[in-house]
Amino acid sequence: MSIKRLMSATALVGILGAIPSVTFAQTAPSTSTNSVEPAANTIQTGDPSDNPSNDGEIVVTGSRIARPTLSSPVPVTTISAQDLLSTGTLNIGDALNNLPALRSTFSQANSERFIGTSGLNLLDLRGLGTARTLVLVNGRRHVTASPGDYIVDTNTIPDDLLERVDIVTGGNSAVYGSDAVAGVVNFVLKRDFSGLKIAGQGSITSRGDRGSYFGSLTAGKNFADGRGNIAIALEYSKANAVYNVDRDDLTGAYSGRNQFNQSETTVGEPAAGNGVPDNQFYRGVRNGSIADGGLVTAVCNPTVAAQLADLNRCRASSTGFVSASNPGIGIGQRYVFNSAGQLVLSNPSLDFRDITTNFGASSPSSGSSNTIGGLGSTLMNTGQLLPSLERYSANILAHFDISDAFQPFVEAKYVRIYADQEGQPSFFSPISGTLGLPELRCNNGFLTAGSLATLQSIGRCVNPATDRFATSRFNTDFGGRGELHKRETYRIVGGVQGTFNDDWKYELAVNYGQYDEHYDSLNNLKLADLAGNDDGFTLAYDAVLAPASFSGSNFVLNSTGAKVICAVNSATNTRPDCVPINLFGVGAPSAAALKFVNTTSSYQARATELDVTLNVTGDTSQLFELPGGPVKFNVGGEYRRETARSAFDALTASGGTFLNAIQPFNPPALTVKEGFGEIEIPLLKDLPFVKELTLSGAGRISSYNTSAGTTYTYNGAVYYAPINDVRLRGSYARSVRVPTQSDLFSTASQNFASIADPCDAGRINNGTATRAANCLALGVPVGFTNTIANSQTVAYLSGGNPALKPEKSNSFTAGAIFEPHQIPGLSLTVDYYDIKVQSLIAGVSIQTIVNQCVDSPTINNSYCALLNPRVAGGAFPSVVGLASTLNFSKQTTSGVDVDLAYNHTFGGGGRLTVRTLFSYVIDKTNYLDPINPNIPTRQLFALGDPQLEGQFSAQYQTAGGFSVRYQFQYIGKQTIAATYAVQNSYNGLPPTNADQYPQIYYPEVTYHNLRMGFLVNKQFEMYAGVDNVFDKYPPFGLTGTGSGSGIYSNTGRQFYAGFKANF
């Protein structure tokens, strides 16, 4: 409520609009104070302190050689800080993800997909992966936000000190080193700030949630007659969480999910389809195989007429078996424990198991476990659409120009971030891996007589004294398995720069960063102690009636008033701390039982980075000049050392909890020594039809202390301006991404999977000619049936591969810049890019490893080496083997980027600024099959990867300071099916299932944002705006929390207001 009041109060502040600065390459560091002159290619904004100056030649991101702003030979898109932050979002990463060149792979909305990542914002240029986008701050590396990986959390970037963001397309490892495969994102901070700036902003959605606010104070001062400057920036921001239950209309938390589901039998259907969609869009979908209070499935044997006719046991429409391994299993009715602990029929209005998707001797199956209606869980009544995020940031920038030759500088910052996540609760189901389906006693002390009678009527608990039954339960009443994160980032850059030899320049910089993380994982089920003995839930769910002799206090009364205890205490109260847990119905577990079965797991991690660079820039003007001018060059060296470590608490690491066993990670330090150089050769200048012709190139040699060894990267480029109005450019680059510490040394962690044993008698003839012989060589007898693997998941390990080699990429770009002198203020850039990544590091599934082991010519191969020996008789061992990563995959992408900008100042002093950015993707293809590495999978048009994205903005500011801004975002269509080939012809082949969905694509989506503002005077401005004016939700039941669906906004309409004051 206090947040809502704050937002309402803030909304009364007033309105403002700050004109965005529009630039097309990196501009020079400002040497002025709050009053500055705009650059020739820059639109001055309402806040003059945010504008850089331009002295003609500057260092453009993508090169260390100074050059005029628009003469970069590689594509560079620059977004000013004011333009980037001109909407209600307080998150730089989310704002950048709205740009066409970046994929929303890791935004706030979809950051909760993995353990420990809630609240992270990572950048993914061209959708080639966050690890293939190099993120820099002021052209220098930044410490990671994931120990063992090299990815930067943009939440650590200060808003108020940010001048602009430069985005370079194409490989740039020759200039900046490893990871610049898709390109570079460089955050350029202000160099000088003089005065005092105070800013504040608040926002809230039209539904009264996601209350967010931001406050900052920046103070700076020049000294020594302007030769020195020091600036301090303090920032605080907070965004409140949005829970699934807050948006039932989107998530179906209470009413049931909105989604596509199998609606038609596919038995006998031709591959081309029958013209009837296999899936339809439904509302109110529940999972029929698991319930919040516990679910039991009746025994249904279609071979027994009496059972098939018994509607308590079998679905009335059940006409055949649905289990390949046991034809006697039919579609049994489902029963759920209600809040009173009674077992009642779920009775949905539609049970999708009645729809047979595949029927035959090899793999018959039912449509899905979902229902419409009934008592199954929605699976959405816990969890979040957006996590909460709280951020504290302190930054210091300082420099003192003692002389032209000696100019020391320092950048330092500390950022603390708190992120809170609520995930799904613990659960029991046939595929939950660690826990599986608990077998409950039929004489369980909490089970009512009525429920026991119902169990017996559906074929369970024939002998209550000895029988057990399984239940599937979504434990919403156990407490949410949330994560409370604390992340701290320290970074200091110290160095000296200067000029010597008349006009040569040097820079020596020492860059140290440290990242510390701690988080608690709440309500994690305890299953065993450190010695592997049963503990916690494993003891508590085995509940029995207490004998008359029991005198302990660790009991719970059941519905009849009888004492119930843990079975381990039946004879002697050896575990007086054990409190039995009642699993029959939502809310049944007692507080004491939950305290005994739940534990809080903790995680600690640290990463450090030391990066030392020295580079010198000069030219040959003192020796010779070419017709186009002197040859320019840059040479330098770099040393970098990365360390990482992380660990869960001992109990979690041992596998004694609901979380998978995750061992401590403490890899050796990664070090690299590098030498690099650049050259720019101006061949011709100021000739007819050759205003400028320049060649450039760069190279880098890097020596790693890992399996990466020595790498060589390089690039070459040409820049040609036939006339002043037209400039052409092209480049080719070889770049690399070396294996990270995580890629190489991740400790093996336990996972579970359903593995189809290729040596099973039912599959022995389905592989290569060598499969049978290789299975025999592994000790698998002829006719072997892997009963365990056919009926349940099996354990395996996943971890790093210390033999990995670097990924390599080749990128080509070609483009043109148009600045017609007849239309002052108009600029148009068009760039084509083509990027190919080879030897890509990708995971290989345990199923593929098992198959390839026996389908290779012999068992002496790299796949068999990853597997543990089979046990006597041929079965899998308790841990099948290690699923690791290999250099086998590749990715390709190509497309065209367009950047059109126009600015004009009218006679009355009003200013108009217009800008359009859009990207058209021609190709985006993955090659991810280790068996057939040249078979393409089209990623283009898949969810999260539309062919066309664009952004348009227009702003008008009057001479009196009133402004209005409109922004439009376009997201193109994307396939509903998992891959493009399902409903489209691809690679010369017809669709694999042309009628899988009633339509092929999610529709095009547009967002509209409005902002108005007023510059009260030179010191004070106010603004207010509305994002997502028409309140768009993601289409067709998407929630915006997936890797692909994160491209859509899931908050709906948002209002915001704020102010800036300069003194």
- Give me the chain's average pLDDT, please: 88
> Quick check: 897 and 813 in contact, CB under 8 A?
no
The pLDDT of residue 312 is: 82
1036 SS3 class: coil
User: What whole-number distance in Å separates Cα of residue 31 and Cα of residue 33?
Assistant: 7
The pLDDT of residue 2 is: 36
Whether 22 shows a pLDDT value over 80: the answer reads: no
What proportions of the chain, in percent to the nearest 5, are helix, strand and coil?
A: 10, 45, 45
State whether the Cα torsion 751-752-756-761 is positive or negative: positive
The pLDDT of residue 342 is: 96
C-alpha distances out from residue 851 to 111, 432, 886, Å: 33, 24, 16
> Which residue in 586, 581, 523, 524 sits closest to 291, CA to CA?
586
> Quick check: 342 and 450 in contact, CB under 8 A?
yes
- Segment 830-849, tens digit of pLDDT: 999 999 999 999 888 899 99
Residues in a beta bridge with 599 = 524
Instruction: Please state which of the ranges 43-47, 290-294, 889-893 shows the lowest mean pLDDT.
Output: 43-47
Q: Summarize the confidence of residues 780-802 as an average pLDDT.
A: 87
Q: What is the dihedral of CA 782, 788, 792, 797, to 10 degrees?
A: -80
Instruction: Please state which of the ranges 29-43, 118-132, 369-383, 463-477 shows the lowest mean pLDDT.
Output: 29-43
**Angle 528-532-534 from CA coordinates, rounded to 5°:** 40
User: What whole-number distance in Å separates Cα of residue 1046 and Cα of residue 1040?
Assistant: 4
Q: Summarize the confidence of residues 21-41 as an average pLDDT.
A: 30
User: What whole-number distance in Å separates Cα of residue 905 and Cα of residue 908?
Assistant: 8
Q: Summarize the confidence of residues 538-545 as an average pLDDT.
A: 96
For 204-233, b/e burial (b = at least 16 CB within 10 A) is bbeeebbbbbbebebbbebeeeeebbbbbb
C-alpha distances out from residue 978 to 456, 491, 939, 996, Å: 42, 42, 10, 11
> Quick one: what percent of the chain has pLDDT higher than 90?
72
C-beta atoms surrounding 409 within 10 Å: 20
Query: How many CA atoms are closer than 13 Å to the CA of 588, on its beta-carbon side?
Result: 27
Q: Are strands 948-957 and 1001-1002 parallel, antiparallel or unpaired?
A: unpaired
- Segment 131-177, tens digit of pLDDT: 999 999 999 999 999 999 999 999 999 999 999 999 999 999 999 99
The pLDDT of residue 37 is: 27
Whether 7 shows a pLDDT value over 50: the answer reads: no
**Angle 949-951-955 from CA coordinates, rounded to 5°:** 170
81 SS3 class: helix
Instruction: Please state which of the ranges 485-499, 828-842, 979-993 shows the lowest mean pLDDT.
Output: 979-993
Whether 993 shows a pLDDT value over 90: the answer reads: no
User: What whole-number distance in Å separates Cα of residue 97 and Cα of residue 82?
Assistant: 16
Whether 352 shows a pLDDT value over 90: the answer reads: no
Q: Summarize the confidence of residues 202-218 as an average pLDDT.
A: 95
Whether 12 shows a pLDDT value over 90: the answer reads: no
The pLDDT of residue 20 is: 30
User: What whole-number distance in Å separates Cα of residue 296 and Cα of residue 583?
Assistant: 12
C-beta atoms surrounding 317 within 10 Å: 10
Whether 665 shows a pLDDT value over 80: the answer reads: yes
Sheet holding 556-557, edge to edge: 543-545, 563-566, 556-557
pLDDT grade for 326, boundaries at 50, 70 and 90: low
The pLDDT of residue 218 is: 95
pLDDT grade for 523, boundaries at 50, 70 and 90: very high
Residues in a beta bridge with 912 = 904, 956
Which pair of structure tokens corresponds to residue 183? 């390109």
The pLDDT of residue 621 is: 94
The pLDDT of residue 793 is: 80
pLDDT grade for 423, boundaries at 50, 70 and 90: confident
> Quick check: 489 and 414 in contact, CB under 8 A?
yes
Q: In sequence order, what DSSP letters do the residues of 406-420 get, joined into one string?
A: BEEEEEEEEEEEEEE
C-beta atoms surrounding 914 within 10 Å: 18
Backbone angles phi, psi at 96, to 5 degrees: -65, -35
- The identity of residue 380, as a single letter, is M
User: What whole-number distance in Å separates Cα of residue 288 and Cα of residue 445?
Assistant: 26
> Which residue in 206, 104, 251 sits closest to 1027, CA to CA?
206
Whether 1016 shows a pLDDT value over 60: the answer reads: yes
Backbone angles phi, psi at 628, to 5 degrees: -90, -5
User: What whole-number distance in Å separates Cα of residue 103 and Cα of residue 126?
Assistant: 6
Whether 754 shows a pLDDT value over 90: the answer reads: no
Q: In sequence order, what DSSP letters do the residues of 681-697 get, joined into one string?
A: EEEEEEETTEEEEEEEE
> Which residue in 650, 642, 649 sits closest to 667, CA to CA?
642
> Quick one: what percent of the chain has pLDDT higher than 70?
90
The pLDDT of residue 434 is: 44
- Segment 110-139, tens digit of pLDDT: 888 888 899 999 999 999 999 999 999 999
pLDDT grade for 875, boundaries at 50, 70 and 90: very high
User: Using alpha carbons only, how large is the chain's radius of gyration in Å?
Assistant: 32
The pLDDT of residue 313 is: 83
Q: Find the helix or strand (DSSP H, E) in which 94 lies.
A: helix 92-97
The contacts of residue 293 (CB under 8 Å, 6+ apart) are 336, 337, 338, 339, 375, 473, 584, 585, 586, 588
510 SS3 class: strand
pLDDT grade for 743, boundaries at 50, 70 and 90: very high
Whether 69 shows a pLDDT value over 60: the answer reads: no
User: What whole-number distance in Å separates Cα of residue 511 and Cα of residue 609?
Assistant: 8
Which pair of structure tokens corresponds to residue 981? 């080939």
The distance from CA 702 to its chain's CA centroid, rounded to whole angstroms, is 29
> Quick check: 832 and 894 in contact, CB under 8 A?
yes
Map out the domains of the chain as residue ranges. Answer: 254-379
> Quick check: 181 and 809 in contact, CB under 8 A?
yes
> Quick check: 351 and 315 in contact, CB under 8 A?
yes
Q: Find the helix or strand (DSSP H, E) in which 404 lies.
A: none
